[in-house]
């Protein structure tokens, strides 16, 4: 099944899911799953009349779901480019859009690996047969990876080794199970699987990994902006920090 069909099915499933009047639906990048689960629990405790529904997937998939009519109140992406596209399509409240957290792209190896991978050039070694990378057309981590490899002059060389994944968590799973010798994921993902993978090194990037959040243009729940404010609040930021994300204070997206 190709990614377009998968996206359509996911969008239809989300649209068909029963939603109560007070439900607030948040579509968030896959790498935010655990942090947002805790944020949602804290938000619901502070707003007992509201139930928060969390939908996670690759940022590009979330955008396609929203553009196809899925009922979403808040969109949180793992990059600025996907949110830019949402803004261009008038799918979000651009005045309420914010950059709310930063992350790092890293290369990971299976915990029991004895390969010495310390730089991007080391991925050219004959002992490295498979490298898990998110699909750059829909996965921000994949797009960051492609940019870094192109800058290093390695993308074409490594292309035959790349195993494309539907999101960053699938890339992490492949490495965790030893199905690939290496993979590109976010530092926060690697920390969650520290018993299964080791971080080899941080990937140098021209632009930091920055996450964007915004209420949708026509949220069905009036608390959409309140939820965004909660994510940006000291309490929301403390939860994100707990999961390894860095503060975006002072960061300006290009």
Rounded-to-integer distance, Cα 104 and Cα 137, Å: 19
Rounded-to-integer distance, Cα 32 and Cα 30, Å: 5
Rounded-to-integer distance, Cα 182 and Cα 175, Å: 6
Rounded-to-integer distance, Cα 176 and Cα 132, Å: 11
Rounded-to-integer distance, Cα 88 and Cα 131, Å: 33
Rounded-to-integer distance, Cα 228 and Cα 206, Å: 28
Long-range Cβ contact pairs of 224-227 (< 8 A, separation 24 or more): 224/24, 224/73, 224/74, 224/93, 225/93, 225/96, 226/47, 227/24, 227/26, 227/43, 227/52, 227/73, 227/74
Quote the distance between the C-alpha of residue 185 and its chain's center: 10
State yes or no: 186 annotated in a binding site: yes
Token digits for 81? 């480019």
Strands 74-77 and 209-215: antiparallel
- List beta partners, residue 109: 198
- DSSP letter at 174 equals H
State yes or no: 31 annotated in a binding site: yes
Task: Please give the annotated binding residues for molybdate, written as ranges.
Answer: 31, 59, 141, 168, 186
Task: Please give the annotated binding residues, written as ranges.
Answer: 31, 59, 141, 168, 186
């Amino acid at each position: 099944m190709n990614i377009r069909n998968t996206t359509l099915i996911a969008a239809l499933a989300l649209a068909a899911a029963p939603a109560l009047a007070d439900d607030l639906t948040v579509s968030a990048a896959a790498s935010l799953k655990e942090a947002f689960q805790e944020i949602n629990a804290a938000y619901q405790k502070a707003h007992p009349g509201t139930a928060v529904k969390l939908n996670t997937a690759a940022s590009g998939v979330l955008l396609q779901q929203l553009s196809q009519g899925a009922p979403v109140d808040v969109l949180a992406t793992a990059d600025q480019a996907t949110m830019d596209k949402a803004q261009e399509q008038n799918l979000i409240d651009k005045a309420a859009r914010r950059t709310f957290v930063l992350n790092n792209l890293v290369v990971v190896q299976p915990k029991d690996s004895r390969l010495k991978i310390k730089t991007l050039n080391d991925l050219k070694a004959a002992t490295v047969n498979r490298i898990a990378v998110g699909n750059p057309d829909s996965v921000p981590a994949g797009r960051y990876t492609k940019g870094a490899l192109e800058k290093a002059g390695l993308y074409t060389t490594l292309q035959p080794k790349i195993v494309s994944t539907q999101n960053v968590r699938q890339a992490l799973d492949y490495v965790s199970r030893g199905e690939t010798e290496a993979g590109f994921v976010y530092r926060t993902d690697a920390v969650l699987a520290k018993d299964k993978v080791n971080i080899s090194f941080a990937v140098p990037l021209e632009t930091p990994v920055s996450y964007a959040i915004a209420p949708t243009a026509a949220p069905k729940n009036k608390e959409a902006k309140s939820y965004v404010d909660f994510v940006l609040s000291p309490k929301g930021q403390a939860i994100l920090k707990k999961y390894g994300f860095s503060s975006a204070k002072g960061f300006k997206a290009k």
